């Protein structure tokens, strides 16, 4: 886990790359890599890399980056982990390759030498990298299948810049101009900035599961090599139940590959408890676990501490519980907001539990993120098909809703959730119903938040209903539609991004065994289909059973008492929508309505 930066002056009239820019980009990501820093600038000044290192695999100086191979023909700056690198290395050695390190980074270089950009089809892991091919005078950018690791780029028509963080691109001084209306509108619609947008007009996210080749002719078309929605659309149903335990153990075992200690974020939920059980099997109980509790929830059914500690006792882990109170939130608020690379209404819990893990000396922790998307754990899997099924049969529902909503919205907003005013207008199709379910503010509220011009431009550029429909349109079954929407939107844009910034703020690598392309493909025939494995089936895979109190506990979600913390801080803004305004101000310095 690291931070990368690259600048390539590909245009004939481009000014040379400035070493100061490369250094500034790298230094802005110091928390991502406290174990080392490196940069490289080509003799002709056309290409430069920076890297910040968090040493996880091959801790020696030989594995430092940027790394070179082939007598200088190939160079790479890379962020992530390749979990199958040892198997790939063996195949390469059988084919005559000679290695000088024990790192996964060097494996990527050898794979590129043999397979070019197609190397990504062989990688199992989370990654983003920039790889320079001197002979072809080209730069390859790549991002893992689910976009676990971020990669942003800015192209001004002469020079392309790429980095692990938006803030790194801005820190270099060569990017971060203009306002992207879609990014600003998207934040208030969903509580996160939907990719590929950022808050800046000139900075974009490389899509998950994509590569981008850049040479003297400029950037070529982005190539997708993995699309979760397409996998669900293309996978036929199967009557044979999957070997669920084998699939889960395989993923967990791969995600435990490291030359440092690995821990688990443990809540009372089935996802993290199951991972704890499976990881303990692999490690023979030599495992660290961490639980986050909130003083405001002590003694209530929202307090997860006692059940999590029971799981830790069951599997004999070294367990740490950290309790957080409003005072902790207030004292850390500025640092928390500064750590967000892009504004998000989530990630507070991950920020504090990552801090606890890092203070215990860990560099790597497993998270149960992704289980609800795989196994239909969210109530959206039930609510959205029911809403569409009911309203979809009402002739002219959307048209009637557009007429009634301006009249009903003002008084509904005072009496209950403003979302009810959009039920007829948006609830008759899956894209609109999903926006109602996951939306933070409603479309008609945007002008009051951003002003009419920015709101209008943002809605048109983001085209959320069109993009949401495109996510699920090729999928037939209702619950599979929801699985695609939750995976491509909520998980990718919010949960994974929050895990990245909140972990990296504390120099902690967060791994997500339930977000794994091999696991996803293995389960794809049954995801969202009748008879497929659910959360209970997942939770019964460890050889040593989970405690009954955890297995039988109704799903409640993980709550963070932001409302109470804001009230305790004497702030007039309350609840998630008030928190969104605070986060937006912190990211932009702008007041909102």
Question: pLDDT by residue (tens digit) across 418-430?
Answer: 787 778 888 999 9
CB atoms within 10 A of CB 413: 16
Q: Are 147 and 208 spatial neighbours (Cβ–Cβ below 8 Å)? A: yes
pLDDT above 60 (res 383): yes
Q: Are 264 and 290 spatial neighbours (Cβ–Cβ below 8 Å)? A: yes
- The average confidence (pLDDT) of the chain is 92
Q: Which residues contact 188 (CB under 8 A, 6 or more apart)?
A: 440, 441, 445, 446, 449, 450, 580, 584, 592
Question: What's the burial of 585, exposed, middle or buried (CB within 10 Å: 0-12/13-18/19+)?
Answer: middle
- pLDDT at res. 241: 81
pLDDT level of residue 240 (50, 70, 90 thresholds)? confident
Catalytic residue list: 2
- pLDDT at res. 419: 83
Q: What percent of the chain has pLDDT over 90?
A: 81
Q: What residues pair up with 9 in beta bridges, in sequence order?
A: 159
Question: What b/e readout covers 462-486, taking b as 16+ CB neighbours within 10 angstroms?
Answer: bebbeebbebbeebeebbbbbbbbb
Task: Dump strand ranges (E) for 262-331.
Answer: 262-265, 288-294, 318-324
Secondary structure class of 361 (helix, strand, coil): coil
- pLDDT at res. 580: 92
Q: Are 112 and 129 spatial neighbours (Cβ–Cβ below 8 Å)? A: no
Read off the pLDDT of residues 288-324 as tens digits, 9 standing for 90 and up: 999 998 888 887 777 889 999 999 999 999 999 999 8
User: What's the rounded mean pLDDT across residues 56-79?
Assistant: 96
Residue with tokens 């409003």: 326
Read off the pLDDT of residues 387-417 as tens digits, 9 standing for 90 and up: 999 987 777 777 776 766 776 666 666 566 7
User: What's the rounded mean pLDDT across residues 201-221?
Assistant: 98
User: What's the rounded mean pLDDT across residues 94-109?
Assistant: 97
pLDDT level of residue 328 (50, 70, 90 thresholds)? confident
pLDDT above 70 (res 464): yes
Our CA angle for 148, 259, 23, nearest 5°, is: 60
pTM of the model: 0.95
Q: Largest alpha-carbon pair distance within the chain?
A: 73
Q: Are 561 and 297 spatial neighbours (Cβ–Cβ below 8 Å)? A: yes
- pLDDT at res. 298: 82
Q: Given its phi and psi angles, is residue 520 left (phi above 0), alpha (psi -120 to 50 degrees) or beta?
A: alpha
CA distances from 153 to 19, 225, 275, 336, 532 (A): 18, 19, 34, 24, 39
CA-wise closest residue to 488 among 234, 126, 194: 194
Lowest average pLDDT, out of 23-37, 401-415, 477-491, goes to 401-415
CA-wise closest residue to 274 among 582, 28, 546: 546
Angle between helices 85-94 and 104-115 (to 10 degrees): 50
Based on DSSP, count helices (H) and strands (E) in the chain, helices before strands. Answer: 26, 18
Structure-block tokens of residue 469: 């429909």
pLDDT level of residue 564 (50, 70, 90 thresholds)? low
Domains and CATH numbers, the chain: 2-226 (3.60.20.10), 236-376+484-559 (3.40.50.620), 384-472 (no CATH)
Q: Given its phi and psi angles, is residue 361 left (phi above 0), alpha (psi -120 to 50 degrees) or beta?
A: left
Question: What's the CA gap between 526 and 538, in Å, rounded?
Answer: 13
Question: What's the CA gap between 519 and 517, in Å, rounded?
Answer: 5
pLDDT above 60 (res 20): yes
Question: What's the CA gap between 96 and 428, in Å, rounded?
Answer: 59
User: H helices of 284-324, where?
Assistant: 305-315
pLDDT above 60 (res 111): yes
Read off the pLDDT of residues 568-584 as tens digits, 9 standing for 90 and up: 443 444 578 888 999 99
Q: Are 479 and 376 spatial neighbours (Cβ–Cβ below 8 Å)? A: yes
Q: What residues pair up with 131 in beta bridges, in sequence order?
A: 76, 140
User: What's the rounded mean pLDDT across residues 343-363?
Assistant: 93
User: What's the rounded mean pLDDT across residues 88-94?
Assistant: 98
Give the pairing of strands 152-155 and 218-219: unpaired
Contacts 24+ apart (CB under 8 A), 126-129: 126/80, 126/81, 126/511, 126/512, 127/78, 127/79, 127/80, 127/81, 127/82, 128/4, 128/78, 128/79, 128/80, 128/164, 128/206, 129/4, 129/76, 129/77, 129/78, 129/79, 129/80
Question: What's the burial of 215, exposed, middle or buried (CB within 10 Å: 0-12/13-18/19+)?
Answer: middle
pLDDT above 70 (res 73): yes
- pLDDT at res. 416: 66
């Amino acid at each position: 886990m690291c931070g990368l930066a690259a600048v390539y002056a590909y245009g004939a009239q481009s000014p040379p790359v400035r070493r100061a820019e490369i250094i500034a980009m790298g230094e802005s990501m110091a928390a991502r890599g406290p174990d080392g820093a490196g940069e490289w600038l080509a003799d002709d000044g056309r290409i430069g890399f920076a890297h910040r290192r968090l040493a996880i695999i091959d801790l020696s100086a030989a594995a430092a980056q940027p790394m070179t191979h082939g007598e200088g023909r190939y160079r790479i700056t890379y962020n992530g982990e390749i979990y199958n690198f040892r198997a790939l290395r063996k195949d390469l050695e059988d084919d005559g390759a000679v290695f000088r390190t024990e790192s996964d980074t060097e494996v990527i270089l050898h794979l590129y030498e043999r397979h070019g950009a197609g190397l990504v089809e062989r990688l199992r892991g989370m990654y983003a990298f920039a790889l320079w091919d001197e002979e072809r005078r080209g730069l390859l950018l790549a991002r893992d299948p689910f976009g676990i690791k971020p990669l942003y780029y800015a192209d001004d028509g002469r020079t392309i810049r790429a980095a692990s963080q938006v803030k790194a691109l801005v820190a270099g001084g060569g990017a971060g101009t203009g306002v992207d209306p879609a990014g600003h509108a998207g934040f208030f619609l969903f509580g996160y900035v939907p990719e590929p947008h950022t808050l800046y007009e000139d900075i974009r996210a490389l899509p998950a599961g994509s590569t981008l080749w850049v040479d003297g002719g400029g950037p070529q078309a982005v190539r997708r090599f993995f699309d979760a929605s397409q996998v669900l659309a293309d996978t036929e149903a199967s009557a044979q139940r999957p070997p669920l335990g084998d699939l889960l153990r395989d993923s967990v075992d791969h995600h435990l590959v490291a030359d440092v200690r690995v821990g688990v974020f443990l809540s009372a939920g089935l996802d993290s408890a199951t991972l704890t059980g499976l990881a303990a099997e692999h490690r023979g109980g030599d495992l660290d676990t961490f639980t986050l509790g909130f003083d405001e929830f002590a003694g209530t059914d929202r307090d997860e501490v006692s059940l999590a500690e029971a799981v830790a006792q069951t599997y004999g882990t070294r367990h740490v519980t950290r309790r957080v109170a409003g005072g902790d939130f207030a004292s850390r608020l500025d640092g928390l907001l500064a750590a967000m690379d892009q504004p998000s209404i989530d990630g507070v819990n991950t920020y504090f539990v990552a801090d606890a893990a890092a203070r215990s000396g860990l560099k790597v922790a497993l998270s149960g993120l992704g289980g609800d998307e795989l196994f239909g754990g969210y109530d959206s899997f039930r609510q959205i098909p029911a809403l569409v099924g009911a309203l979809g049969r009402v002739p002219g529902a959307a048209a009637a809703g557009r007429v009634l909503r301006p009249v009903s919205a003002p008084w509904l907003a005072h009496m209950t959730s403003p979302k009810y005013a959009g039920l007829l207008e948006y609830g008759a199709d899956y894209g609109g119903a999903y926006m109602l379910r996951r939306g933070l503010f409603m479309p008609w509220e945007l002008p009051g938040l951003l002003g009419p011009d920015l709101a209008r431009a943002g809605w048109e550029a983001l085209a959320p209903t069109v993009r949401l429909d495109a996510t699920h349109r090729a999928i037939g079954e209702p619950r599979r539609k929801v699985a695609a929407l939750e995976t491509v939107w909520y998980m990718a844009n919010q949960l994974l991004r929050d895990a990245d910034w909140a972990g990296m703020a504390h120099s902690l690598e967060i791994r997500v065994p339930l977000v794994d392309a091999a696991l996803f493909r293995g389960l794809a025939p049954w995801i969202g289909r009748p008879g497929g494995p659910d959360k209970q089936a997942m939770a019964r895979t460890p050889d040593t059973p989970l405690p009954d109190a955890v297995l039988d506990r109704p799903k409640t979600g993980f709550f963070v008492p932001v409302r109470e913390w804001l009230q305790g801080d004497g702030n007039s803004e309350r609840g998630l929508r008030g928190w969104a305004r605070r986060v937006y101000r912190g990211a932009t310095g702008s007041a909102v309505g």
